[in-house]
Amino acid sequence: MKILYYECFSGISGDMNLGAMVDLGVDQRYLVQELNKLQLSGYKVEFSREKKKGIEGTRAHVILENKHRHGHNDAHRNLEKINTIIETSNLSDAVKVLSKKIFRAVAEAEAKVHGTTIDKVHFHEVGAVDSIVDIVGAAICFDRLKVDKVVCTPIELGGGFVQCRHGTFPVPAPATVEILKNIPVKTGAVQFETTTPTGAAILATLVDEYLAQGSFTFEKTGYGVGYHDLDIPNVLRVSLCSDATALKDLQSRKALVIECNIDDMNPEHYDFVLKRLFDVGADDVFLTQTQMKKSRPGVLVSVVCPLEIEEKVIETLLVETTTLGVRKYTVDKLAIKRNYTKVSTEFGDITVKTGHLGGRCIKAKPEYEECKKSALLHHVPIQRVVEEVLRQFNHQRQ
């Protein structure tokens, strides 16, 4: 399982996240190329190598024309206008969906804080070009990394006071508090706002699990450098990891593989042989085309079975095929946990087999025979039945 692991010991902002993603391996040319699909003007994105407290990483600069990076921008866009910018771009559907989800998290928080509705919220700084770049850039990078899971440490918020458009507020800012409800946080590492509403919304949208400590195998690490000099390294550390515990969920047992090569049997008989092997308890039987002595085309018959039915399988192969002998060897058979769920559709109730790893459902497949029966009964293509079952299954999971 591929994991994206955030360590927010110095908080997170949108630009720190962009820097960390590039430092982790997302090609900056690709990121800029994708951001250009937004058709926004008046800015450019640059990256540089910098250090904080001896830790080197990548700093992302979103430079506005005739504006300071942390100055105010005159573009007061509401959620509808931002969604229009995203939807009319040529970005992928996955990036569009994720970008809008992050913006909605900010909009809902702002609406709650100011006692209004999300359609009336004007984002001020968050609706400005630089914050659009931070949020859409986060979605582009996440989509590019193709991870299975996002894990994060408790988020450091900092302390002291912060200047907002509406005045001076204690850290964390009201919108940040609202976004991070029910999420583990820490405060007081420094007297400074270490986590911004944009950074909080990125994590609140992406993260699957928050852990004070975890068991991972680190594969690659990136650092996103912040703009301020603090008593602690002002960097965001993000790593690509594999889950060292996920394989513990696999169901493991010993199994036998029993094989024989055949080059002189009527091909019509294989169907009967396979049925007999499954009848005696084989887990799997498969045929592989091969070339045997004297250049004869042949078939390798392979049977995977529990140890206790070894004699039955060997006897079946010797009696039902033309082989004069078999070979066998022991293997470790690993399998993910399986569950079976009934899903109600317009074509009837159909079973979906699911596979689980690391506590997550990673596979789902409708039972073929039930789909076949429903398709014949309702006179529809079987693919339509399968698609409807999966649609209803995914709807139930949301």
**Per-residue tokens: 272:** 């009967």
For strands 43-52 and 55-64, give the pairing: antiparallel
Task: Give 245's contacts (C-beta < 8 A, 6+ positions apart).
Answer: 215, 358
Q: Give the pLDDT score at 398.
A: 65
Task: Please give the Cα distance from 143 to 384 (Å, whole number).
Answer: 29
Q: Is the pLDDT reported for residue 21 higher than 90?
A: yes
Q: What are the two backbone dihedrals, phi and then psi, of residue 190, each rounded to the nearest 5 degrees?
A: -145, 160
DSSP reduced 3-state for 41: coil
Query: Which is more confident, 115 or 380?
Result: 380
Is residue 126 scored above 70 in pLDDT? Answer: no
pLDDT tens readout for residues 144-197: 999 989 999 999 999 998 877 667 889 998 999 999 999 999 999 999 999 999
Single-letter amino acid, residue 244: A
Phi and psi torsions of 40, nearest 5° = -95, 145
Which pLDDT score, from 0 to 100, does residue 66 have? 64
The Cα 123–Cα 106 span in angstroms is 8
**CA gap 167, 173 in Å, rounded:** 11
Task: Indicate if the pLDDT at residue 312 is higher than 80.
Answer: yes
At 362, is the pLDDT very low, low, confident or very high (cuts 50, 70, 90)? confident
pTM over 0.75? The answer is no
Structure tokens at 112: 């709650």
Q: Which residues pair with 151 in a beta bridge?
A: 5, 209
- Whole-angstrom Cα distance, residue 86 to residue 67? 23
pLDDT, mean of residues 106-128:
77
At 212, give phi and psi (nearest 5°): -70, -35
pLDDT at 376 over 90: yes
Mean pLDDT over the full length of the chain? 91
The pLDDT tens digits for 207-260 are 999 998 777 889 999 999 999 999 999 999 999 998 766 666 678 889 999 999
Q: Concatenate the DSSP letters of all residues of 124-157 into one string.
A: GGGGSHHHHHHHHHHHHHHHHH--SEEEEPPEE-
Class of residue 43 by CB neighbours under 10 A (exposed 0-12, middle 13-18, buried 19+):
middle
The pLDDT score that the predictor gives to residue 154 is 96
Is a pLDDT exceeding 70 seen at residue 319?
yes
Region 34-62: mean pLDDT is 94
Tokens of 267: 């091909």
Mean pLDDT, residues 282-295: 94
Task: Tell me which of 27 and 337 has the higher pLDDT.
Answer: 27
